[in-house]
Structure 1
């Protein structure tokens, strides 16, 4: 067996170990919550050695930051969908669809998002990570608005980034209401209403 094959096997084993640790961390966080969860619980559930675990993660905050990236990547895939409408009606359909999918994802990932919310209030590292995620979404929305403005579909007398910020904060507020089970109306109805107000205010 040559050195390249040995290195490839080590790399594959390392990836599998990391994935095992992340799956264990997700289970522990959901069961215990961020505050009570410990790295010892995660290591025991993953059935790996302490030394091996610390090669991949320094502490439970590191675990959660990676899990947050993984979960929010699913949300970001919705935001990343190509937004090249040729008409206001087409833009409206796309925005309604994106808004509905974003809030439905909050329902699907409710348990993990509950952990994120706890951690955001406790950990400066996780809080900073959430701010970075938020800015990534805002930047993407801002680009979509700028496209609509350039193509004569949206008002040009408003600042695309400021509007994007307000639109994301609206979605974020409803996201946390869903996470906390504080919402009284179906997700589809919430999405339809907030998207309609946003579209009527921005598009021509």
Structure 2
């Protein structure tokens, strides 16, 4: 999810009132600032957390099909596209945020599909399977279990799933999922899992320790 926001153009002047900005930190759109309407409870993920996550994911990103399920600012899905993913689906129930996502995708000419829909209801529909899923729901709503259940038919063999939760909460992911890496800040636990069905892909050297971000 996202930090503050301004217009997409890196040459834009001041931000419109009622908006924040989030910055893409790597890839072909590195440094681009995306406009995000202010919303209560829209929780920021720091640049350092995202940099750690995408270092983990680097070999898995080329040509990946990505789902950003509780998209919010959409920065995780758009960052994945910036770094080589083939296509992203962004699901966000807030119509204002969804419209901002459409505008961002259009200005970037990004291969992104935006759905203004409830994430859990959207999962109930038929659709493609994904190689990479970002699961970062509103913390207050406690949606991890339902979202994880709904994801099962939407995962390609060997898919990667990123899960963000409060620092003291470890969502109950399926036992068959392998924890690849995890990190913590004072407020957030972030973890990357690999689902069964494909040969493992190393994304960190074996001697790299688990991440901790202050």
Common fold, TM-score beyond 0.5?
no
Instruction: Point out the structure with the larger helix share.
Output: 1
Higher relative contact order structure (alpha carbons within 8 Å, sequence separation ≥ 6):
1
Q: Structure 2 length normalisation: TM-score?
A: 0.26
Q: Structure 1 length normalisation: TM-score?
A: 0.27
Instruction: Point out the structure with the larger strand share.
Output: 2
